[in-house]
């Protein structure tokens, strides 16, 4: 009888755990993000891969619920151009789509100086993060392909902006630069030549940027450049 009861209990636990694991959708996971910004705005860019559930390029404008911490973090982002990442709790990344029936408006996250999976230091823990705007949301194609041009989208609308590369090839690289332009400069995409996995130089960017956006533009430098996860 004891064996029978033990078997029933174990079976119940197995069924309960299986149901708990399956209650989430296919895009559930820890979706690590690059964090960048300045006093004019704060942004995160999902660190994508070509396999589920991370096969999405997503860029959000965000702020912290705590206004003092929000101002402090923005000041640190603006002060020095170093790598910051965000480690959120698990969620369905599909909920960040503009047409989601259950949009994700807030989540908890750790903010890490450095890469959260590569020895970075957690500077702020379990912060409440508010999603202000969905700037980019697109699913990546797993097909092997190559483009001879790279499209960079402008992020931010003030004088201190960012260029973020659209991931449109496989293999590809994830690339974000900081730029400085007049506040009223055009918000045009910046298109540069692409040769495999080699990003063009800051000088080449500057030439295109001044021709396409504003002749007074300048390139401040690279915030993030990585190809290891996009093979």
Sort residue 184 into left (φ over 0), alpha (ψ -120 to 50) or beta.
alpha
Q: Measuring CA to CA, which residue among 220, 53, 46, 62 is closest to residue 127?
A: 62
pLDDT by position in tens, the chain (length 231)? 545 444 444 444 444 444 444 578 999 999 999 999 999 999 999 999 999 999 999 999 999 999 999 999 999 999 999 999 999 999 999 999 999 999 999 999 999 999 999 999 999 999 999 999 999 999 999 999 999 999 999 999 899 999 999 999 999 999 999 999 999 999 999 999 998 999 999 999 999 999 999 999 999 999 999 999 999
Residue 3: per-residue pLDDT = 52
Domain ranges (residues) in the chain? 26-140, 143-231
Sign of the torsion formed by the C-alpha atoms of 114, 117, 121 and 122: positive
- Peptide bond between residue 53 and the one before it cis (omega within 30 degrees of 0): yes
Q: What CA–CA distance (Å, rounded) separates 217 from 231?
A: 33
The DSSP bridge partners found for residue 149 are 193
- Peptide bond between residue 68 and the one before it cis (omega within 30 degrees of 0): no
Residue 7: per-residue pLDDT = 43
């Amino acid at each position: 009888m004891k064996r029978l009861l033990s078997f029933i209990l174990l079976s119940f636990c197995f069924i309960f755990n299986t149901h708990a694991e399956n209650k989430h959708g296919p895009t559930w996971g820890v979706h690590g993000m690059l964090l960048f910004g300045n006093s004019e705005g704060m942004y995160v860019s999902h660190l994508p891969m070509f396999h589920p559930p991370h096969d999405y390029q997503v860029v959000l404008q965000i702020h912290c619920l705590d206004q003092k911490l929000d101002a402090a973090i923005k000041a640190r982002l603006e002060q020095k151009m170093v790598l910051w990442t965000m480690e959120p709790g698990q969620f369905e990344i599909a909920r960040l789509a503009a047409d989601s029936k259950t949009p994700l408006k807030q989540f908890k996250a750790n903010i890490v100086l450095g890469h959260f999976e590569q020895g970075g230091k957690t500077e702020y823990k379990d912060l409440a993060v508010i999603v202000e705007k969905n700037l980019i949301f697109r699913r990546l194609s797993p097909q092997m392909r190559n483009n001879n041009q790279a499209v960079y989208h402008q992020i931010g609308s003030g004088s201190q902006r960012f260029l973020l590369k659209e991931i449109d090839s496989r293999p590809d690289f994830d690339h974000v630069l900081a730029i400085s332009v007049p506040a009223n400069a055009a918000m045009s995409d910046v298109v540069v030549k692409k040769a495999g996995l080699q990003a063009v130089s800051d000088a080449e960017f500057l030439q295109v940027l001044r021709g396409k956006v504003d002749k007074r533009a300048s390139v401040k430098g690279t915030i993030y450049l990585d190809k290891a996860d996009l093979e």
